[in-house]
Structure 1
Amino acid sequence: MSREITRTGSSAPVREFTVLLSPTRRGARLARLLAVAHLSTWGLPPGPAAQIVAELATNAVLHGRVPGRDFRLCLAAHHGGLLRIEVTDALGDRLPHPVAPDQHMETGRGLLIVEALADRWGVAPGPFPRKTVWAELDLAW
Structure 2
Amino acid sequence: MSDETHADGMHLTVLLSCTRRGARLARLLTVAELASRGLPTDTAAHVVGELAANAALHGRVPGRSFRLRASCPVPGSLRIEVTDALGERAPRLATLPVGPDAESGRGLLLVEALAERWGVTHGPFPCKTVWAEVALVGVSPPRRLVEAPYGRRTNCP
For the criterion TM > 0.5, the same-fold answer is yes
Matches within 5 A, 1:80-91: 80-91=75-86
CA contact (8 A) 2:68 2:81 kept: yes
- Equivalent in the alignment of 1:139: 136
Aligned to 1:117: 114
Q: Flag structure 2 segments of 5+ consecutive residues without an equivalent.
A: 140-157
Moved over 6 A (4+): none
Q: TM-score if structure 2 supplies the norm length?
A: 0.82
Q: Which has the larger radius of gyration?
A: 2
Match of 1:102 in 2: 98
Listed as ranges, the gaps of 5+ residues in structure 1 are 7-12
User: How does the TM-score come out when normalised to structure 1?
Assistant: 0.90
Other-structure match for 1:130: 127
Count of residue correspondences: 135
After superposition, residues 1-141 of structure 1 pair within 5 angstroms as: 1-6=2-7, 13-99=8-94, 100-103=96-99, 104-140=101-137, 141=139
Q: Return the offset for 1:101.
A: 4.2
Identity %: 60
Letter in 1 for 2:5: E
Superposed displacement of residue 105, structure 1: 1.8
Over the aligned positions, Cα root-mean-square deviation in angstroms equals: 1.3
SS of structure 1 residue aligned to 2:68: strand
Letter in 1 for 2:85: A
